[in-house]
């Protein structure tokens, strides 16, 4: 792979975290055709602001050379093994990949937990806004990295997380240990495999010297192929 | 022996050099990222021995054994036990240190899992894991224990207790701070110092974190809050995401560490990214440096993990978490309705309380267990320091143990037995204590007598090793309608305690007016007088604006609130005041009040619903209101939801608004001493291992609205707890929630255990990853696709 310089974490400050309201509404199972009432828009706006105020966005990423891609992917200098056809497809022809972890921090969990005691409807809006916010954090980080890398002739694949497709959730502890997320961003994995703080994401992004194939850009959780036919969050 | 030498060193003027990173050295020796470093090191003991020797050669006076992550959780499934790994690693470090004056620290890092309430690890489990490590390290001959890279004060407290109760080695505590001088979990520098100052630890400080320059502001703050020896073990800057290399070279590192010497930091070393060259450079840089003198810190303060509360101006202690004379609160305790208690706590914090008094004493309640449970729950709901209020020493200890932060014990008194049982607890858990001016002879009648008892309490506390700053005296408020001459004595006693003993004072104010009309006026006036007499902690009802206003005004008049800034802000924004009741005039006649209520439920207008319910209850029976108005309104909202005319947030809004009405009605029923209106009991729980409980909480609100009594076991509920509660309370409908595929397994186990118990019941399940088929496959009777459907299920099963 050609030489390139990956920006350091401190060069990669996310100035202003955004929340994609359409994404928040999808978590609220709001049908896109339905217009928000002014009251609902106001309440959701307030929830978004509360989440943005409480969020302590933190992230860590690290670049690994890929040792082999068959039915599983091994990363140089790491004990992590990424298994499954989907990850192999994502990292096809990629010489290196980024492991990435991002979190909104504990404060966000705290304000949702408090709202659940006194005001369950506010809790629901906060929860959806926070889910959208951590998604945005990843998007923003990805965009910033893409810009820096593309200028050096390096292309990024889509971001793919444990639990998507056939990449098992059970790799989460080893994934987080590899990035030492407890020390670097305060992100832990519970005994039952939950990421805590709750509003957190781990993901893999492949790095290529050639423009990626279409599948590598669109590969994410595939609602159409998922066995949960009546999942309320299913994308139509 | 070595312990004394170490303590002498800590009391001396010289710098103590720590070592540098272990992980960085092991990575250089071939450790893979994400691999267990302790096991890697033990597989090649000669490499480990060499690392220790390199650090000693560079000048380290204390080396950390390779035991950072040797806890039961990280070693699970490895075939090795903490005891085995720790004793071997400590032996190797001791071998390196043999025949030198180098000390060996048992190094214990964060367990790597979040504790309750943010996570699923119990305080008691954390304690047990630390205890196992401490015992192994002490037995292997470590000279001290270093807890490091901590971000959660609760975890650190479990660690310190485990060390204190299981060995007598000196304890070092360092935490990792992020930007804004907070740890990842939000712990402030001042709160860390406040808790550890009065626990018996040898030194505190900072490790890991960004490079030395990032730590500087943390230490600048820390020196203002502690007299303990300080530690800095900094990273070599930040790692490069491509190469893994850290960006600060040894000489630059040493240069950046020098300001800590000026600040009086005694122990210095390196963390991630550093190596022997860094320690050698540091030693050289310190050779010509002098350690700065530190200012002696004296403060009366208590804390939660995120909030330090200093007694440097009159403060409000919220008195509402107390069942005495409160029927609804008593009922909540009997029903295990913890959410009711939490809501009262949040209300008081919003109204301006600085500290919350917690009392759960009620006949028939297991007070130690309940107090511990309520305190744990409170810590997830409010971030105020707590005042543990009980006359039962066992309950006090149970509460103190699980309390996250520095609390106040309410109370000890002048009786010999009270002094002998309570003060050791105060000392052990490093908290503050309220001394009541009464003794074997009962209540002291004169100010002078009260002073004498206060002095006796003070002497006993000092003899126990409790700092005078942590002793607060309560000169006792007596009811003025019964003993009119006593109010003056109370005030006079407070002045004497402040002048002669120099102690802080505390007073429960509300009792003064018992039996008189217009109690608020008497309370407010007495509060003013007490504040003038030097009251520091006013135990009052913060929901009454007249009381909190008086404290706010007194802070101006007594020259605490400089320039009246806080007062002006308060008056301008009415911050800290509960919302005024702007009586709605939507309802002119009974007919329109009913319509207004229906409309308010539909629109989800909570305060309107509350007010209209109060109004309607004046001439309507509670059941009439429930069956005639609220249930039909909810049915209609539910239908709209089914028809997709409204969506989830609106459904929940309406449900939450309706629950305001039910709360008002329920309170009225309890006050009238009538039987409740239950259509049957339903048990709800988010299963073991899962903490996503918003869905379950929504189901709870909706089921309660329909008149079902919900026994909510909360989140992360052990299988056994579900089974035992179902049997003990004979609950026939059980709802389980799980959000993740990983926790559906635990749902299945819970269902299997319920079936195996032979308890006849129906089980319904819900959660994002479940389907009708999946629910049937794991043995559930019903699948609730949403909260609304759980009502249909409840109707089917319970009617």
- Residue ranges of alpha helices (H) inside B312-434 are 327-334, 338-351, 367-379, 393-402, 416-428
As a three-state string, the secondary structure of B175-193 is ECCCHHHECCCCCEHHHHH
Residues of A with Cβ-Cβ distance to B741 under 8 angstroms: 163, 169
Nearest chain A residue to B23, by CA: A180
Report the residue from A28, A113, A175 with minimal CB separation from B380.
A113
C-beta atoms surrounding B565 within 10 Å: 10
Supply the ipTM of this predicted assembly.
Answer: 0.93
Query: How many angstroms separate the CA atoms of B73 and A191, rounded?
Result: 9
Q: Judge contact between B311 and B498, C-beta under 8 A.
A: no
**B697: which chain A residues are within 8 Å (Cβ-Cβ)?**
116, 120, 123
Among residues A63, A60, A150, which one has the least CA distance to residue A98? A63
Query: Does the structural domain B590-671 have CATH classification 1.10.1240.10?
Result: yes
Distance CA B56, CA B609 (A): 72
Distance (Å) from the C-alpha of residue B394 to the closest C-alpha of chain A? 29
Mean pLDDT by 10 residues, chain B (799 residues): 85 95 96 95 97 98 98 96 98 97 97 93 97 98 98 98 97 95 96 95 94 96 98 96 94 97 98 98 95 95 97 98 94 91 95 97 96 96 97 98 98 98 98 97 94 98 97 97 95 98 97 94 97 98 96 96 93 57 44 85 89 91 87 90 84 90 87 77 94 90 91 94 96 94 91 96 92 93 92 93
Q: Which CATH class is domain A20-210?
A: alpha beta
Q: Do B66 and B37 contact (CB within 8 A), yes or no? A: yes
Contact: A121, B649; criterion CB under 8 Å: yes
State the DSSP code for B353. Answer: -
CATH number of B2-287: 3.20.20.330
Question: Residue A221: what pLDDT?
Answer: 62
Q: What is the pLDDT of residues A145-184, one digit of tens each?
A: 999 999 999 999 999 999 888 898 899 999 999 999 999 9
For the domain made up of B309-573, the CATH class stated in words is alpha beta
pLDDT of residue B786: 87
Strand ranges inside B11-143, DSSP E: 16-17, 62-64, 103-109
Where are the strands (E) in B192-287, listed by range? Answer: 203-208, 230-234, 267-270
Domain coordinates in residue numbering, chain A: 20-210
Model confidence at A31: pLDDT above 90: no
Q: Are strands B471-474 and A188-189 parallel, antiparallel or unpaired?
A: unpaired
Measured between CB atoms, which of A179, A182, A232 is closest to B112? A182
CB-nearest to A106 from B120, B185, B649 is B185
| Nearest-10 crossing angle of helices B327-334, B338-351 | 140
The confidence score (pLDDT) of residue B496 equals 98
Q: What is the pLDDT of residues B68-117, one digit of tens each?
A: 999 999 999 999 999 999 999 999 999 999 999 999 999 999 999 999 98
**Pick from B749, B752, B754, B776: nearest CA to B765:** B776
List, for residues A183-234, the tens digit of each pLDDT value: 999 999 998 889 999 999 999 999 999 999 988 888 776 666 665 666 666 6
C-alpha B190/C-alpha B307 separation (Å) is 8
pLDDT of residue A233: 67
Asked if A84 and A163 count as a contact pair (C-beta separation under 8 A), the reply is: no
What DSSP state is assigned to residue B700?
H
In the prediction, which pLDDT does A15 show?
A: 79
Confidence of residue A48 (pLDDT cuts 50, 70, 90): very high
Question: Which among B186, B241, B694 has the least Cβ separation from residue A124?
Answer: B694
Is the domain defined by B681-798 classed in CATH 3.40.50.280?
yes
| pLDDT tens digits along A50-77 | 999 999 999 999 999 998 777 789 999 9
The predicted pLDDT at position B4 comes to 87
Task: Using alpha carbons, select from B561, B632, B569 the residue that is nearest to residue B602.
Answer: B632
Which chain B residues have a beta carbon less than 8 Å from that of A125? Answer: 649
- Of A55, A46, A49, nearest in space to A140 by CA: A55
Q: What is the DSSP string of B542-570?
A: TTSHHHHHHHHHHHHHTT-SGGGHHHHHH
Give the integer Cα–Cα distance in Å for B434 and B506. 7
User: CATH 1.10.1240.10 in chain B, residues?
Assistant: 590-671
For residue A109, the chain B residues in CB contact (below 8 A) are 118
Axis crossing angle, helix B486-496 with helix B447-464, rounded to the nearest 10: 40
Q: Identify the pLDDT of residue B572.
A: 84
């Amino acid at each position: 792979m050609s030489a390139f310089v990956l920006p350091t974490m401190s060069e990669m400050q996310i100035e202003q975290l955004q929340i994609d309201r359409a994404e928040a509404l999808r978590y609220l199972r709001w049908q896109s055709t339905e217009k928000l009432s002014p009251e609902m828009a106001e309440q959701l706006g307030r929830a978004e602001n509360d989440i943005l105020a409480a969020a302590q966005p933190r992230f860590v990423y690290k670049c690994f050379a890929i040792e082999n891609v068959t039915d599983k992917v091994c990363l140089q200098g790491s004990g992590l093994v990424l298994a499954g056809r989907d990850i192999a497809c994502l990292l096809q022809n990629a010489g290196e990949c980024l492991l990435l972890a991002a979190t909104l921090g504990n404060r966000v969990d705290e304000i949702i937990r408090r709202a659940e005691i006194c005001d369950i409807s506010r809790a629901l809006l906060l929860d959806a806004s926070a889910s959208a916010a951590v998604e945005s954090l990843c998007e923003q980080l990805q965009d910033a990295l893409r810009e820096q890398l593309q200028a050096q002739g390096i292309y990024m694949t889509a971001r793919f997380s444990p639990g998507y497709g056939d990449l098992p959730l059970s790799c989460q502890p080893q994934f987080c240990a590899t990035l030492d997320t407890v020390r670097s961003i305060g992100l832990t994995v519970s005994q039952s495999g939950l990421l805590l703080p709750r509003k957190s994401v781990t993901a893999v992004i492949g790095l290529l010297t050639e423009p990626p194939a279409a599948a590598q850009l669109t590969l994410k959780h595939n609602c159409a192929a998922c066995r949960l036919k009546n999942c309320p969050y299913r994308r139509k | 022996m070595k312990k004394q030498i170490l303590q002498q060193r800590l009391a001396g003027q010289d710098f103590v050099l720590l070592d540098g990173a272990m992980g960085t050295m092991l990575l250089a020796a071939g450790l893979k990222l994400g691999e267990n470093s302790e096991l890697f090191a033990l597989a090649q003991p000669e490499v480990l021995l060499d690392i220790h020797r390199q650090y000693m050669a560079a000048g380290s006076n204390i080396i950390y054994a390779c035991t950072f992550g040797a806890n039961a959780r990280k070693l699970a499934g490895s075939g090795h036990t903490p005891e085995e790994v720790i004793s071997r690693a400590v032996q190797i470090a001791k071998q390196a240190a043999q025949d030198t004056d180098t000390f060996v620290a048992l190094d214990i890092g964060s367990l790597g899992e979040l504790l309750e309430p943010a996570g699923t690890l119990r305080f008691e489990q954390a304690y047990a894991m630390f205890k196992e490590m401490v015992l192994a390290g002490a037995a292997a001959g470590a000279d001290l224990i270093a807890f490091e890279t901590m971000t959660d004060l609760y975890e650190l407290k479990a660690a310190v207790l485990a060390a204190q109760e299981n060995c007598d080695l000196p304890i070092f505590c360092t935490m990792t701070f992020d930007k804004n001088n907070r740890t990842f979990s939000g712990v402030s520098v001042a709160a860390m110092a406040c808790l550890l100052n009065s626990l018996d630890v040898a030194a505190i400080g900072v490790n890991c974190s960004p490079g030395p320059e990032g730590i500087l502001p943390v230490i600048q703050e820390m020196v203002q809050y502690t007299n303990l020896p300080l530690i800095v073990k900094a990273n070599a800057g930040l790692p490069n995401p491509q190469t893994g290399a850290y960006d600060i070279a040894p000489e630059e590192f040493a240069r950046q560490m020098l300001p800590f010497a000026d600040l009086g930091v005694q122990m210095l070393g390196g963390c991630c990214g550093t190596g022997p060259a860094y320690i050698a450079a540091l030693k050289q840089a310190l050779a010509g440096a002098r350690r700065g003198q530190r200012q002696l810190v004296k403060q009366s303060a208590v804390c939660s993990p995120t909030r330090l509360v200093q007694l440097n101006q009159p403060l409000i202690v919220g008195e509402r978490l107390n069942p005495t004379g409160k029927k609804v609160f008593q009922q909540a305790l009997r029903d295990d309705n913890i959410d009711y208690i939490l809501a009262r706590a949040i209300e008081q914090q919003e109204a301006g309380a600085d500290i919350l008094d917690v009392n759960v004493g009620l006949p028939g309640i297991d007070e130690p267990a309940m107090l511990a449970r309520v305190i744990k729950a409170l810590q997830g709901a409010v971030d105020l320091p707590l005042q543990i209020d009980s006359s039962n020493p066992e309950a006090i200890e149970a509460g103190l143990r699980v309390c996250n932060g520095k609390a106040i014990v309410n109370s000890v008194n002048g009786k010999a037995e009270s002094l002998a049982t309570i003060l050791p607890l105060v000392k052990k858990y490093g908290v503050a204590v309220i001394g009541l001016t009464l003794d074997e002879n009962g209540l002291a009648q004169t100010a002078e007598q009260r002073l004498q008892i206060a002095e006796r309490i003070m002497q006993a506390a000092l003899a126990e090793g409790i700092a005078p700053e942590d002793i607060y005296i309560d000169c006792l408020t007596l009811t003025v309608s019964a003993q009119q001459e006593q109010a003056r004595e109370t005030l006079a006693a407070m002045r004497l305690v402040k002048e002669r003993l120099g102690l802080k004072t505390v007073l429960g104010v509300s009792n003064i007016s018992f039996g008189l009309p217009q109690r608020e006026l008497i309370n407010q006036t007495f509060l003013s007088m007490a504040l003038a007499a030097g009251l520091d902690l006013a135990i009052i009802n913060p929901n009454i604006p007249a009381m909190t206003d008086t404290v706010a005004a007194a802070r101006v008049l007594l020259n605490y609130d400089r320039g009246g800034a806080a007062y002006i802000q308060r008056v301008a924004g009415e911050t800290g005041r509960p919302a005024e009741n702007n009586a709605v005039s939507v309802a002119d006649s009974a007919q329109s009040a009913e319509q207004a209520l229906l409309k308010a439920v539909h629109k989800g207008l909570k305060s309107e619903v509350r007010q209209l319910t109060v109004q309607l209850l004046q001439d309507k029976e509670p059941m009439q209101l429930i069956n005639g108005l609220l249930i039909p309104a909810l049915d209609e909202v539910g239908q709209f939801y089914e028809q997709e005319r409204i969506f989830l947030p609106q459904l929940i809004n309406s449900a939450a608004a309706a629950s305001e009405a039910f709360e008002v009605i329920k309170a009225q029923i309890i006050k009238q001493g009538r039987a409740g209106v239950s259509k049957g009991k339903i048990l709800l729980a988010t299963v073991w291992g899962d903490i996503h409980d918003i869905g379950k909480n929504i189901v709870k609100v909706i089921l309660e609205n329909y008149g079902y009594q919900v026994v909510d076991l909360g989140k992360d509920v052990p299988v056994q707890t579900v089974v035992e509660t179902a049997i003990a309370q004979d609950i026939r409908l059980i709802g389980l929630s799980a959000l993740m595929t990983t926790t559906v397994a635990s749902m299945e186990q819970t269902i299997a255990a319920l079936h195996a118990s032979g308890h006849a019941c129906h089980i319904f399940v819900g959660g994002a990853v479940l389907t009708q088929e999946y629910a049937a496959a794991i043995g559930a009777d019903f699948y609730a696709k949403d909260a609304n459907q759980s009502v249909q299920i409840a109707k089917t099963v319970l009617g």
